[in-house]
Structure 1
Amino acid sequence: MTWTVMPSYDEYETAREEFSWELPDEYNPAVDFLRKHEDTSRTALRYDHPDDGLETYSFDDLDERSDRLAAALADLGVTAGDRVGVVVPQKPQNPLTHLANWKLGAVSVPLTVLFGRDALQYRLADSEATAVVVDPSVRETIDEIRDECPALEHVIELGNAGSVRDGAHAFDDLVASHEPGIDVYDATPETPTAIMYTSGSTGPPKGVRHSHALWLGRAAAAYNYFDQGLAEGEATLWTPADWAWGAALGGTLFAAWHHGCTIVGWPRDGFDPQEVYDLLERHDVTKAFMPPTALRMLMGVDDPEARFDLSIETFASAGEPLTSEVVEWVDATFDDVAINEFYGQTELNLVVGNSETWFDTRPGSMGKPFPGYEVAVLDPETHERKERGEVGELAIKPDDRRVFFDEYHGLPEKTANKQIEDVPASGASGESEEQRSSGRWFLTDDLVERDEDGYLWFVSRADDVILTSGYRVGPMEVEDAILTHDAVEQVGVVGVPDETRGEAIKAFVKPARDEYDPDTLREEIRTLVRDRLAEYEYPQHIAFVETLPTTTTGKIRRRSLRERDDED
């Protein structure tokens, strides 16, 4: 692979054998995304403004504006290695700030406007950000925490001098008062690019420091899970996910620009399925990254292909495993539209997935490892390989170390604990060369099993496993079964202390409708799980709730559920 193109392969095994990372000696993502394309006057961004209609930006427009912003940041004292926070939704100023940072050699800290006071304060202080670019919606929060972020010298608020209050620089005025033509920082794939924070679903959020090679890894993955359909100028991408999330920022927005395609920006406070279909139609979106929750909400609109003139070719999904009902719905509802689930981590890129180009999607599976990565399923304690069909911890080995994270910011011990040097061969008959290889492997804390055909199946996070009556139960399997009930909209399953069983299974259920009989629904859910899974996997406790706690990326916070005491 070169930094300009991802090669196409018709056969999965050929891709696995022939692909290799060939990262360039010099690499700056701002140059990659904006300047390398044959026609830089083409539209790179279609910004569907909530109030003012459509704005379009070419690659040239973004290059000029990010030049001006980089010059302004330099005048404020931002230099190579400084951290700059970005708290902006799906607006042009979001990627413009990242691009300007990299033109200076500065490090981006992507943050979401969904964060509250404590979440923003923790991340800005922990990353030691010297400047932050913010949306007006979070300006008040930034003012509250500013004194608690000792390194923070400059706040830059979107708007002009007439709209921005004292104490912050006006973004529009900074850009207008500087000229393009800045000398771009001489960067390499190893140059620090971003500190991206984990969701905090299993402990305090950790700052994950990446280098520029991250974006090449994400662009390669997107090429695969979008079925090699990112030819320059031929695809339009959109995601409802916040551009602070790695899969949305690197795997959708910047992947689109790496391949010379168009991205749609559409900031919205909520998710209205009817409006989403309107958007997909209005912008001729061909590739969409849709978290599972968003896809389930789209299922509520009847016969969308008949009601909307859609150009969609591929839905890609990640964050939580897809339930089989979503995969089956896409297949039954749309004509020749693929649904590809993929898997990654903030630390480890997007490394496993489905691609209709190569093999059939198996509903509920994570897919197979993408080219450039090896996988192993290990005993969580001994790190010995598990046999096919056995549950163990997923370990990943990249062919090029640089496409994974560099370190946890300020946490050397946790960085070391994330990786092991060698994985011994299992000795199983028919073991492939891939299984016998050694080197630095990265531990995911995710429990999976690998079937005889090489598909990986997510079981649970390692600390989410429920130990009940001597059985190990993965909450996702129970959740998947409960979600097949048409009266259930969402569910989270955890283990709770039980004197007899050790742990009992408890389900927190958000009903799909206001009117229901709790006792009847409880019994129907228990019977359904017994019939679909096993007697020991049914939830002994079921609490009906109005909302479920989630991370900003839409994952259920099972740790928060374990701390709740909702009555059954």
Structure 2
Amino acid sequence: MEIIHKQDPALLALANLRDYDAVYGSFSWDAARAELDGLPGGGLNIAFEAVDRHLAHGKGDKVAIRWLGKDGSRQDLTYGQLAAASNRFANVLKSLGVARGEAVFGLMGRRPELYQAMLGILKNGSVFSPLFSAFGPEPLKARMTIGSAKALVTTDALYNRKVAAWRGELPELDHVLLVRTTDKPLPEGCVDLAAAMAEASEDFAIAETGPEDRALLHFTSGTTGKPKGAIHVHGAVVAHHVTGRYALDLHPDDIYWCTADPGWVTGTSYGIIAPLTNGTTMIVDEAEFDAERWYQTLQDEKVTVWYSAPTAIRMLMRAGKEVADTYDLASLRFLASVGEPLNPEAVVWSDETFGKPFHDNWWQTETGGIMIANYAAMDVKPGSMGRPLPGIEAGIVERKPDGGVTEITRPMALGELALRPGWPSMMRGYLHEEERYKKCFADGWYLSGDLAMRDSDGYFWFVGRADDVIKSAGHLIGPFEVESALMEHPAVAEVGVIGIPDETAGEVVKAFVGLKPKFESSEALRKELLGHARKRLGPAVAPRDIAFRTNLPKTRSGKIMRRLLKARELGLPEGDLSTLESDEKK
């Protein structure tokens, strides 16, 4: 196996984590907490650590966010300006009666108002929950219902398209704050955010939150039932800060670009919190992926640390090395990737193209922060997730019939990736689902649901999900949510949804549909169902393909066997068929 060695003395001298074994052996979360200032009264608040504490250290004039509009416009927000704007937003919430602990949802693309809003929500002591702007109405409604949304901040265009029709079905949603992006009249019952911010004061006393007070609510998909709301607390900022420094090698003088959408946990933890707590200048590009625009941005903004996703990297590979070669990318110092496994070819390609490999890392919505990573001063084994962060104990375990687990220590033994609980950004629960949360733990381990292996050097290797969750372009998609949307169509009798390999996205969604007796399969109906799903779910979640089946494989209890659908689709071994309906086995 090819190993990419770190021999550059300048890189080694700059790395925050130069001696992995020494730091890992002496690390303590208490010491990591001491690196942050804490509120004057002794509490802890993510927004204070991200923004306001830098003002006390004389960095109020430093650029915190450099925003690049898709129309070519630019806007710089200093730490001082970001502090003032987030104070204004917090005062708007206070004037509306939005209280500490209440949930405020953000539905917006990469716009400055979203970043100001998130920080203001946290300063108010309220809970911020991000929403992916490409979601359709149904996923948005489901998440806001589960999260008991008190307020929503969004654009007027997104509100009119995706929220207005069902807003009245959420009795707790008292306030909708709109960023005006159209010349249409302000919708009834909504607040013009710019006007409200203009009248609000720039002074605000940050809520005296503690480390265990709720701060963030991130939704993730499961194999069955509704989305899960993972609860995170203000103490998570300790992990955000230290993992940004160790796993992403952030320094205060860095120009940092995280390409993740702020509607996902990466775009919050490492697209907002970690770069700000570490005092960097971060690039926010409103536009979607375009290879030449990305390379132009890297060149013109002199980006030093770049955090992206395997899907985007594979799209850059398809554009060709020759495109990258036309730009001056000498400022790049460290490249990292997350969201899905980064294939070895992409690591080698980036090393050949940029003179540096992408450093893969692993974490989950539930972990709140990076748990395993390839570090700047560490040899990279292409295809590996790397080694655990200081403060994180990871292992490979096997589940036992009694519900417990046994750790497997043999090198390259396949098992479930597990972590010892106790890190600050660990989720504190699934909202309203205590039993579901408890099932994530056994015998002193947090069970990730990911299958992995650990080699003799302590590097971990991702194998796949232990359940049916689909990982497409870094997004987790629950098959049940897709199946439910398709079942709403009058022609559909039953549905099974799986993920199938895709060269660019990693996996894409494919649905197998059984029709009701009076309906016949046709290309027209297939397109109609695809359109129905896209309208309900949005393009990020809807299936890319639909196949009609007379009989879907089911257990004797009637549960569709997604595992068997996938095996048959991909030509894999079908495994144990003992629970399969007898008619299906014939």
Q: TM-score, normalised by structure 1?
A: 0.76
Instruction: Give distance in 2, aligned partners of 1:198 and 1:64.
Output: 32
In the superposition, relative to structure 1, how do residues 95 and 237 fare at CA in structure 2: closer, same or farther (>3 Å)? same
Does residue 95 (structure 1) correspond to residue 115 (structure 2)? The answer is: yes
Shift of 1:441: 2.1
Per-residue deviation, 1:297:
0.9
Query: Which secondary structure state, in structure 1, belongs to the residue aligned with residue 407 of structure 2?
Result: coil
Code of the residue aligned with 2:143 in structure 1: it is R
User: In structure 2, which of residues 262, 287, 290 is the aligned counterpart of residue 243 of structure 1?
Assistant: 262
| Residues 279-298 of structure 1: pairs in structure 2 closer than 5 A | 279-298=297-316
2:23 is the alignment partner of 1:15 = yes
Secondary structure of the residue that 1:36 maps to in structure 2? helix
1:48-127 matches, within 5 Å, as 48-51=68-71, 53-127=73-147
Match of 2:464?
460
Per-residue deviation at 1:72? 1.0
Tell me, in whole angstroms, the C-alpha distance in 1 between the residues paired with 2:141 and 2:351. 44
Structure 2 residue aligned with 1:36: 53
- The CA deviation at 1:334 is 1.5
Q: Is the contact between residue 235 and residue 285 of structure 1 (CA under 8 Å) also seen in structure 2?
A: yes
Residue 189 of structure 1 contacts residue 212 of structure 1 at CA under 8 Å; is this kept in 2? Answer: yes
- Find the aligned partners of 1:120 and 1:459 in 2 and give their Cα distance: 31
Secondary structure of 2:64 counterpart: strand
Q: Which has the higher contact order (CA 8 A, sep 6+)?
A: 2
- Give the CA deviation at 1:239: 2.5
What's the secondary structure of 2:420's corresponding residue?
strand
What per-residue deviation string (whole Å, max 9, x for no partner) do you get for residues 390-436 of structure 1?
Answer: 111111114x443211110000101111112x3xxxxxxxxxxxxxx
Match of 2:176 among 155, 161, 169: 155
- Size of the aligned set, in residue pairs, is 468
Q: CA deviation at 1:66?
A: 1.0
Alignment of 1:209-248 (within 5 A): 209-226=231-248, 228=249, 230-232=250-252, 234-248=253-267
Contact persistence 1:164–1:170 (CA under 8 A): no
- Counterpart mapping for 1:384-403 below 5 A: 384-386=406-408, 387-398=410-421, 400-403=422-425
Greater shift, 31-40 or 156-165, is seen at 156-165
Q: Which residue of 1 aligns with 2:204?
A: 182
| Alignment check: 8 A CA contact 2:359 2:374 kept | yes
Give CA deviations for 1:109-149 in whole Å, capped at 9, x if unaligned: 11111110000000111100110001233111110120222
Task: Report the equivalent of 2:487.
Answer: none
Which residue among 135, 138, 145 is the counterpart of 2:158? Answer: 138
Counterpart pick for 1:208 among 230, 235, 255: 230
**Whole-Å Cα distance in 1 between the matches of residues 420 and 316 of structure 2?**
36
Distance 1:278 1:245, change over 3 A: same
Go from structure 1 to structure 2 and tell me whether the alpha carbon gap of 1:454 and 1:50 turns closer, same or farther (over 3 Å shift): same
| Partner in structure 2 of residue 449 of structure 1 | 453
Q: Residues 565 and 171 (structure 1 numbering): CA distance in 2 closer, same or farther, change over 3 Å? A: farther
Structure 1 164/290 Cα, relative in aligned 2: closer, same or farther at 3 Å? Answer: farther
Q: Determine the C-alpha separation between the residues in 1 that align with 2:460 and 2:539.
A: 24
| Aligned sequence identity (%) | 28
Cα distance in 2, alignment partners of residues 555 and 251 from structure 1: 29
Question: Which residue does 2:366 correspond to in 1?
Answer: 347
Distance 1:44 1:252 in 2: 12
CA contact (8 A) 1:160 1:170 kept: no
Aligned with 2:176: secondary structure? strand
Equivalent of 1:330, from 350, 370, 383? 350
C-alpha distance 170-490 of structure 1, shift in aligned 2 (>3 A): closer
| Residues in 1 aligned to 2:539 and 2:453: alpha-carbon distance in whole angstroms | 25
From 353, 359, 364, the equivalent of 2:378 is: 359
Structure 2: which amino acid aligns with 1:350?
A: G
Indicate conservation of the 8 Å contact 1:160/1:171, yes or no.
Answer: no
Alpha-carbon shift at residue 63 of structure 1 (Å): 0.8
For residues 91 and 460 of structure 2, the distance between their equivalents in structure 1, rounded to whole angstroms, comes to 47
Q: Does 1:411 align with 2:433?
A: yes
Given that residues 352 and 366 in structure 1 are in contact (C-alpha distance below 8 angstroms), is that contact kept between their aligned partners in structure 2? no
Q: Is the 8 A contact 2:510 2:544 kept in 1?
A: no
| 1:403 match: secondary structure | coil
- Report how far residue 281 of structure 1 moved: 1.4
Q: Distance in 1 between matches of 2:17 and 2:325?
A: 33
**What's the CA shift for 1:555?**
12
Matching residue's letter, 1:151? E
Aligned partner of residue 385 in structure 1, secondary structure? strand
Q: 1:378 aligns with which of 372, 378, 397?
A: 397
- Decide whether the 8 Å contact of 1:273 with 1:301 is kept in 2: no
Q: Closer, same or farther in 2 for the Cα pair 1:54/1:137, shift >3 Å?
A: same
Displacement of 1:341: 0.6
Q: Deviations over 1:224-250 (max 9, x none)?
A: 222x3x222x11111222112112211
Deviation, structure 1 residue 458: 0.9
Residue pair 2:260, 2:271 contacting (<8 A) in 1 also: no
- Correspondence for 1:308: 327
Output the CA distance in 2 between the equivalents of 1:455 and 1:556: 34
Identify which of 260, 267, 272 aligns with 1:253.
272
> Equivalent residue of 1:379, what SS?
strand
Residues 516-542 of structure 1: CA distance to partner in whole angstroms, max 9, x if unpaired?
xxxxxxxxxxxxxxxxxxxxxxxxxxx
Q: Secondary structure at the match of 2:311?
A: helix
1:319–1:554 contact (8 Å) kept in structure 2: no
Q: Cα distance, 1:252 vs. partner?
A: 3.1
In the alignment, is the contact (CA less than 8 A) between 1:206 and 1:408 conserved in 2?
A: yes
Q: CA deviation at 1:463?
A: 2.1
Which AA in structure 2 matches 1:371? P
Residue 390 of structure 2 aligns to a residue in which SS?
coil
Retained in 1: the 8 A contact 2:214–2:232? Answer: yes
- Cα RMSD of the aligned pairs, angstroms, is 3.2
